[in-house]
Amino acid sequence: MVAITNMQKLGAAATLTLLTCSQGLLMEASKEGGHYPYNVATVPLMSELMKFFLSAILLYKAHNRDPKGTQMTTDWKSVLLFPIPSVIYLFHNNVQFYTMAYVDAATYQILGNLKIVTTGALFYIALKRHLSRIQWLALVLLMAGATTSQISSNGGGTLQAPIQGYMLGIVSACLSATAGVYTEFLMKKNNDNLYFQNLQLYGFGTIFNAIRLTVDDYNSSYENGFWLSTGLRGWNTITWLIAINFAFSGLFVSWIMKFADTIVKVYATSSAMLLTALLSVWFFDLEPTLQLFLGILIACISINLYFMPNDSPPPPPAPVVTKDEEEVDRAR
């Protein structure tokens, strides 16, 4: 396993931040007359397909170059672990749907920040990964900063949703954390080649997305035809850019899960939200709010604290004395 430093993690987070941020801006730019001219659900399917074929090509090349070094576990017990993230996201989407029935959009967005802390907790509990006290405080800060930036200026800011809304928000945050932490477990559980793991992940992802489109079409009584024939209707250049962006973001997330960790992804997602809000002020000529600047300031401090070089590293392991060394010692 490649060891990576805090600075490299930070670089990975920054790249994912830029990809995610341009996603948001591209989505906004692809609208025509205020709504999307294409079926939004076909974009993830297309990007899953792109990732699947890209991973297949990369795996083929890696295997040709170094057949023995390209580890692949084809045991069914291992393969069947890969559809589970898709299943968790399915649950998650349903819980989100029910949550929206109890809380308004602004509160819903704010509740979403809970996933920062639930991910940290599950990262610690399920993956048994160490977080220093400063890193815990940094995670709580990131949540506080993200929330601060989202306080609405017009009359919002009081907590008035029914208790069910908050409970479902917490359930949603736990499911989101489970998906993230489980994916990290999946990518790191053995030294299988990253592209082989991707192949399984995106193969199942493609299947789940295809099922979803079919169910949607069935539920709408084929009002817009069947997705296989009408799926690309209304796609423009920007839509293709979005699909490509989604594909590269996804591949980058896989890389982060295997070589860095879930928390790096959490930082990237939150930073992207703040950067998108800041760029929106610029692009769409909005009035910048004090809470946005405060949120960004607090998030920057959180990043600084979380990725700070550790002052007190764990004690080095006791030196392993080999037989040869013992003999040298005796000879002295």
For the CB of residue 12, give the shortest distance to its own copies in the complex, in Å: 23
Site for its own copies in 143-162 (CB under 8 A): 144, 147-148, 151, 153-159
Which positions from 96 through 135 interact with its own copies, judged by CB under 8 A?
Answer: 110, 133-134
Our CB check for its own copies shows the closer of 107 and 206 to be 107
Answer whether 294's CB lies under 8 Å from 148's CB. yes
- Residue pair 300/308 in contact by the 8 Å Cβ criterion: no
Distance (Å) of CA 115 to CA 183, 200, 269, 281: 15, 26, 11, 26
Query: Are 75 and 129 a contacting pair, CB within 8 Å?
Result: no
Find the shortest distance in angstroms from Cβ 120 to its own copies: 14
The distance of closest approach from Cβ of residue 8 to its own copies in the complex, given in angstroms and rounded to an integer, is 21
How many residues line the site for its own copies (CB under 8 A)? 31
**Nearest distance from residue 302's CB to its own copies, in Å?**
9
Cβ nearer to its own copies, comparing 275 with 296 = 296
137 near its own copies, judged by CB under 8 A: yes
Distance CA(252)–CA(15), nearest Å, equals 9
Which residues, including other chains, have CB under 8 Å from residue 112's CB and lie 6 or more apart?
169, 172, 173
297 lies in the binding site for its own copies (CB under 8 A): yes
Task: By CB under 8 A, tell whether 278 contacts its own copies.
Answer: no
Q: How far is the CB of 281 from its own copies (least distance, A)?
A: 11
Burial class (CB in 10 A: 0-12, 13-18, 19+), 84: middle
Question: Does the footprint of its own copies cover residue 95 (CB under 8 A)?
Answer: no
**Whole-number Å distance between alpha carbons of 58 and 295:** 40
Identity of the residue, 154 or 322, whose beta carbon is nearer to its own copies in the bound complex: 154
